Amino acid sequence: MTAYIFDSETTGLNDPQLVEAAWLRLTSIDTLEVVGHFLSRYKPAKAIELSALATSHILDEELVDSPPHDSFFLPTDATYLIGHNVDYDWRVIGQPDIKRICTKALSSLLWPLADSHSQSAMIYLHYRSEAPALLRNAHAALDDVQNCRLLVVKILDAMSVRLGRQVSGWEELWELSEDARIPRIIRFGKHSGKAIEDIPDDYKRWLLGTEIDPYLRKALQR
């Protein structure tokens, strides 16, 4: 089975469209050897927001001759998609039918006392002396996927300590990610800050009748 670490740069948070895409192709979870890589820019059908320009430094005028934003597709052998806050990038490329492994959720589970779980913060946590150089081009898609791979190394190391054994494969890492994405604490409403298991049953039933995040729904149904 093949996993792809993926990252995108986009037009911004308001109905984002693809501006740059990068991936690393990995086959072995044991070695995390990169067996292929990709980087390309795309022309969106809308202007890039100022906040996105300030992050990626990719200008609209640089994309005039690039392929259209909706022409990107993952390779057909992709079984798992790995990323930091992976759902954002997954939505930008049209929500393909693929299992998603979220390094942000896994980082939050494994290092709960960290004051930030952004990818850059995690690189500083685990690669302190190298971090300034590694993050010099942060928010360039290819640099971001390379740094995400470094974070996956630390996640697998920490998870092996937690489990008392090595993670057996991509499928198990996906299962661990799915569990990590299920919240233990509710972060909104009149019970904000409470453990979900301590929320009154009538409030749980009310929440389940509303449109909520699917992982919060799983937590409430446990």
Same domain (yes/no): 219, 115: no
* Total residue length of the chain: 222
Same domain (yes/no): 167, 199: no
Same domain (yes/no): 221, 120: no
Same domain (yes/no): 177, 189: no
What is the pLDDT at residue 89? 97
User: What pLDDT, in 10s, does the model give residues 14-41?
Assistant: 999 999 999 999 999 999 999 999 999 9
Same domain (yes/no): 172, 213: no
Same domain (yes/no): 129, 66: yes
Same domain (yes/no): 173, 189: no
The pLDDT of residue 92 is above 90:
yes
Domain CATH code at residue 126: 3.30.420.10
Same domain (yes/no): 192, 164: no
User: What pLDDT, in 10s, does the model give residues 136-180?
Assistant: 987 889 999 999 999 999 999 999 999 999 999 999 999 999 999
Residues 168, 170, 171, 174, CA torsion sign: positive
pTM: 0.91
What is the pLDDT at residue 145? 97
Indicate the pLDDT class of residue 56, thresholds 50, 70 and 90.
very high
Same domain (yes/no): 208, 156: no
Indicate the pLDDT class of residue 184, thresholds 50, 70 and 90.
confident
Dist. CA 177–CA 102, nearest whole Å:
6
Same domain (yes/no): 56, 75: yes
Query: Which residues, at least 6 apart from 170, have a Cβ–Cβ distance to it below 8 Å?
Result: 1, 3, 29, 79, 80, 101
Same domain (yes/no): 149, 214: no
Same domain (yes/no): 73, 147: yes
Range of the domain at 209: 185-222
